Amino acid sequence: ISKKHIKNYDYKYFYNVKEIGAGGFGKVYRANWKNTYNYLALKSLFNLNNSTIKEIVNELKLQREVDFNENIIRFFGIATDQNDNSKKYWLVMEYADNGTLQEYLKKKFDILTWNDKINLGLQLAHAVSCLHDEEIVHRDLHSNNVLVHQDTIKLADFGLSKRIEETSNLQSSKLFGVIPYVDPKSFNGKYYKLNKKSDVYSIGILLWEISSGKPPFYVEGNSYDISLAINILQGLREDPIPNTPEDYVKIYTDCWKSEPDDRPTVNEVVSKLHEILPEKNVKYIS
């Protein structure tokens, strides 16, 4: 997968294994390894066909290129069960103890200060800037793909990420992603390729979400539908939450502008957030 060292773990040395979630590929667990205290995350990869395995390898390759950054989930290696000849595999990754950004905001929103919120946004933008520097576009940023360990953002799920030169034309019929986070240019632009500015759009939505504590256009029990996509395409955006610093509103509304050329680069977002961060000594660069 990469020249960097990938560890092989024998599954039998994991203990305290506990299920923590389920995703497209299978269940996710947290566990201790041998005599260590820190938890690791295990993603089970059972019964996969070759094309899914290829996709996963692609995802890991991209993740490995950038996971030296503190704000990106680290991939450590692969676990196999030596006692089981059914060939089960698990991906072994850094564990994020506060779960997804969405869960974190639900739990912690009431105690977050503006400094905390801006710092979360800054870490997120920083993680994405690291991807963009490597010419990688994430293409699927939303609050369930961003994890949080303690109070540190850990970007995850590179499933749809691509190197820029590999991004293919996206047919409008193949709408993917979570509607309110997806660059609306792709809704009707038959040949529009999701690009760096599409990630900036998603960051804008996530900055709003960090200021609100709730996902955009959220109605309990409702899922997003195509009529929302149409409204967004026609310019619908969430209103600022009362008492949000004006400069912060300006940053996210610039990010979610309809025209990609009007949106800032992610590096500009990083420096603008840094400028308005009340306590400048917070660590966000690895």
Please identify every residue annotated as catalytic.
140
Cα separation, 246 vs 197, whole angstroms: 22
Cα separation, 63 vs 256, whole angstroms: 25
The distance of closest approach from Cβ of residue 201 to ligand ATP in the complex, given in angstroms and rounded to an integer, is 19
* Cβ-based nearer residue to ligand ATP, 175 or 230: 175
Q: Is 43 annotated as a binding residue?
A: yes
**Roughly what angle, to the nearest 10 degrees, separates helices 266-276 and 246-255?**
170
Cα separation, 130 vs 124, whole angstroms: 10
Query: Per CB under 6 A, which region of 44-52, 144-152, 224-232, 265-273 contacts ligand ATP?
Result: 144-152
* Cβ-based nearer residue to ligand ATP, 27 or 163: 27
**What would you measure as the largest C-alpha separation in the chain, in angstroms?**
59
R_g (Cα) of the chain, nearest Å: 19
The distance of closest approach from Cβ of residue 21 to ligand ATP in the complex, given in angstroms and rounded to an integer, is 2
Binding status of residue 179 toward ligand ATP by CB under 6 A: no
Q: Which of 267, 271, 270, 235 is nearest to 253 (CA)?
A: 235
Side chain identity at 232, as an amino acid letter?
Answer: I
Q: Are 43 and 23 in contact (CB under 8 A)?
A: yes
Binding status of residue 181 toward ligand ATP by CB under 6 A: no
Cα separation, 124 vs 196, whole angstroms: 14
Binders in 21-60 for ligand ATP, by CB under 6 A: 21-25, 28, 41, 43
The distance of closest approach from Cβ of residue 210 to ligand ATP in the complex, given in angstroms and rounded to an integer, is 18
Binders in 66-95 for ligand ATP, by CB under 6 A: 73, 93-95
* Cβ-based nearer residue to ligand ATP, 60 or 118: 60
Cα separation, 180 vs 256, whole angstroms: 11
The distance of closest approach from Cβ of residue 94 to ligand ATP in the complex, given in angstroms and rounded to an integer, is 6
Q: Which residues bind ligand ATP (CB under 6 A)?
A: 20-25, 28, 41, 43, 73, 93-96, 99-100, 144-145, 147, 156-157, 159
Annotated binding-site residue numbers: 43
